[in-house]
Structure 1
Amino acid sequence: MKHPILSGSGYKLYVLIWLVVMAAHGSVLYFYYDFSVAIAIADSLIYNLIFGAIAPGLWFIVTFGGLNKDELSLIGTHVGAAFLTIVVWLSLSSYALKLIFYAELTYLTFLSDSSVWRVIVGILFYSISVLIFYLIKYYQDMQKRLNRELELQNLLKDSELRMLKSQINPHFIFNSLNSVSALTVSKPEDAREMVIKLSDFLRYSLGKDHSELNSLEQEIRNATLYLDIEKVRFGDKLKFEKKIGSECLSVQMPNLIFQPLFENAIKHGVYNSIEPVTIKLKCELVEGMLKIHVKNDFDQTSVPAKGEGIGLDNVKKRLTLVYGRNDLLEVNRSENEFSVAITIPVNQAIDEN
């Protein structure tokens, strides 16, 4: 635990406080007791300088004196420390002043008569110093606890993000391998092309595990690769259109967000439809927000595909973890169109890892 005076810039405020105390002390001696300027300055300087030099050591009593001690032992420690501090302080100060002003009988008498008041002032100095140190120690302990809690929250958030992303790849790989298996007999060349594209996609995906955010341009490139893989399976039945403003391409966003959205569109649109289905992607910047819209048409008469609900729920959880908001994903369904709208706060991620 850092010393509040001896480390950093805390000594500046400490010196300033003692300069104010010295000025007040000297003023009382000069204006109220009519001592000379030399006596007023010397008395104030020596008494306060010596206590100011002793006081930083009280930090160690505050920090270590209460370890493994009950309240009575702690009180006893401070009573003993206060007694020793005041005795040393008064002895050194009085001895130095008597050597300097040995011929000033009036002042020496005052010095002796004011011992009781100086003891009271010493107790006050000790009490204030210890109280301030306890407050500083409490603040430092509180900051340490807050930092530990924040670190733990970040670790938990990171673990949950990794868990959510780990749900995506196995889910997609499972579907892709089933498709490859089906194509190896009927269309071996298509199966080979799908394996190559799948390899490229996984190389990108696994390479992004260490970073939560990525540019929209890179994510679109990866999402297009994903759709190319699916087009090997569905052919002309799957169509893709995109409208993306150039100002959006550099915006940072959580990686692998598009894949669950496109997978959902294929699963509930392309897979169950006899007619070609178009997946539309639109990205635009609106008032400091990146607005992403993914739409697909679907056949109302088809039987809805069953699933585990990983896709959209996964995306919503990740957006909540990264941006601290749960209103960034909106799902709408009309008679023949399904749409997902995502809002990305530009440069407002809680932790970009």
Structure 2
Amino acid sequence: PVNARIAAISMLGVWAAYLLFLALRTIIVGQYSFAIAFPRMLFTVLISIAANWFLYRLLLLTRGGKIAPAVILLSFPTLIIALGIAYIDSVLAVPPVLAGAPGITYPNWPPFIDNAFICYLILVGWGGLYLALAHNRAVQIAMENSRKLEKLNRESELRALRYQLNPHFIFNALNSVSGLVMEKKNEQAEHLVDGLADYMRAVLDDDGAELISVEDEVAQQVRYLEIEQVRFPGRLNFEVHLDDAVRTWQIPALIIQPLVENAIKYGVARTTNPVRIIITANREAGRLKLSVANDGRMSLNDDRLTGTGTGLTNIRERLAVIYGNGAALIMANGKGNMVVASVIIPDAAQIFRDG
């Protein structure tokens, strides 16, 4: 329903305009003395406002949204209210106020009918305005609720996708910690535990923003790579190249984690030779290009190339939820015998566009 304050203001506005009309008509026509007629007009308008408020209370009963009860209320009860106002104005209130006016006998039925008709039109007009405002308010509330539900749905999807971590990473990291402790390399074990704690805090922090800067995202992946270096001593080397122009660019948290994980899985774990992993971020054609490259090549049936891997599916789904068709994930064999995975992300203005 419409706020009571808005309803009251609209009533006062409508009946104040009607009072002004009556006053101007009396002054222009000059049939009655304004000093004698104005108290009657004011009395009638006050009665009308009270009756209008009663109509408002009746219309509140139709807040369920069905139009038929509102139409019935505006048709029959409004007619009775209008007749009551006209009776008070034309029959009860006139004789004591205009006693002795020439050429008038009471009850004066023609003015009664005119007043009843005018009051009915005013009340029905106000009722129509009220229903329009109520409907508009209902539409606004529905749209707000729809947007809230859509936002909650998107956040739920993103959170579910964000938590699709490879459990083997945690187990392998803990095994590495255990191995370091058994070898009495306590300082390295402590460093590894700290790195794992920082990384998992970023992954599982419910209070953190879904979007983080490129610099923070890459810093998390550096922690990940430092943990994995303990598993592959002497075999894993990594480089990071960030353009200053994109360091503060907002991107989905952990969006390249599956790419780094794949670089470990397909690049490092499958060979005994040293492998490079290179993370780069730069701006191309007004968009962010965030790439993870590793030594090696992809075959035609590689699930990275076909896009059937869980991690790559996770990335594509998260990008679709946030950017619609505005972002992309590209896998390709690059120069220098390297596999390159690139995430292309538009600027922040494209977030939540369905494209």
Q: In the aligned structure 2, how far is the partner of 1:316 from the partner of 1:269? A: 22
Separation of aligned partners in 2, 1:76 and 1:203: 61
User: Would you say 1:57 and 2:73 are equivalent positions?
Assistant: no
Shift of 1:110: 9.8
- Partner residue in 2 for 1:294: 292
Q: Which amino acid aligns with 1:313?
A: T
* Equivalent residue pairs, number: 345
Cα distance in 2 for partners of 1:116, 1:69 equals 32
Q: Which of 276, 281, 288 pairs up with 2:279?
A: 281
- More displaced stretch, 127-136 vs 169-178: 169-178
Per the alignment, residue 165 of structure 2 pairs with 168
Cα RMSD over matched residues?
3.9
Of 75-84 and 271-280, deviating more is: 75-84
Q: CA deviation at 1:98?
A: 3.8
Cα distance in 1, alignment partners of residues 50 and 142 from structure 2 = 31
Check 1:38–1:303 CA distance in 2 against 1; reply closer, same or farther (3 A cut): closer
Distance 1:201 1:29 in 2: 83
Which structure 2 residues correspond to residues 120-131 of structure 1 after superposition, within 5 A?
A: 120-131=117-128
Moved more, 291-300 or 168-177: 168-177
TM-score (ref. length: structure 2): 0.78
Cross-structure match for 2:77: 81
CA contact (8 A) 2:163 2:203 kept: no
Aligned counterpart for 2:155 among listed residues 154, 158, 163: 158
Tell me, yes or no, if structure 1 residue 133 matches structure 2 residue 130.
yes
- Alignment deviations for residues 43-95 of structure 1 (CA, whole Å, 9 cap, x no partner): 65444443234323322212215869995x77665555224422442244344
Following the alignment from structure 1 to structure 2, what is the Cα–Cα distance between the partners of residues 141 and 249? 44
Q: 1:31 maps to what in 2?
A: 28
Give yes or no for contact 1:283–1:292 (8 Å, CA) kept in 2: yes
Q: In structure 2, give the amino acid aligned to 1:321.
A: V
Task: Show the counterpart of 1:332.
Answer: 331
Separation in structure 2 between the aligned mates of residue 237 and residue 305 of structure 1, nearest angstrom: 24
Structure 2 residues not aligned, in runs of 5+: none
Q: Given the two structures, how large is their TM-score scaled by the length of structure 1?
A: 0.78
Change (3 A) 1:81 1:207: same
Question: 2:321 aligns to what?
Answer: 321
Consecutive unaligned residues in structure 1, runs of 5 or more: none
- What residue number does 2:17 align with? 20
Check if 1:342 corresponds to 2:344: yes
Task: Compute the displacement of 1:279 (Å).
Answer: 2.3
Q: Is the 8 A contact 2:37 2:98 kept in 1?
A: no
1:246-285 to structure 2, matched below 5 A, reads 246-285=244-283
Aligned pairs for 1:110-259 (under 5 A) are 112-168=109-165, 170=167, 172-174=169-171, 176-177=173-174, 189=185, 192=189, 194-208=192-206, 210-259=208-257
Cα distance in 2, alignment partners of residues 53 and 286 from structure 1: 68
The separation in 2 between residues aligned to 1:12 and 1:69, in whole angstroms, is 25
Describe the shift of the 1:178–1:59 C-alpha distance in structure 2 as closer, same or farther (beyond 3 A): farther
Q: Percent same amino acid at aligned positions?
A: 27
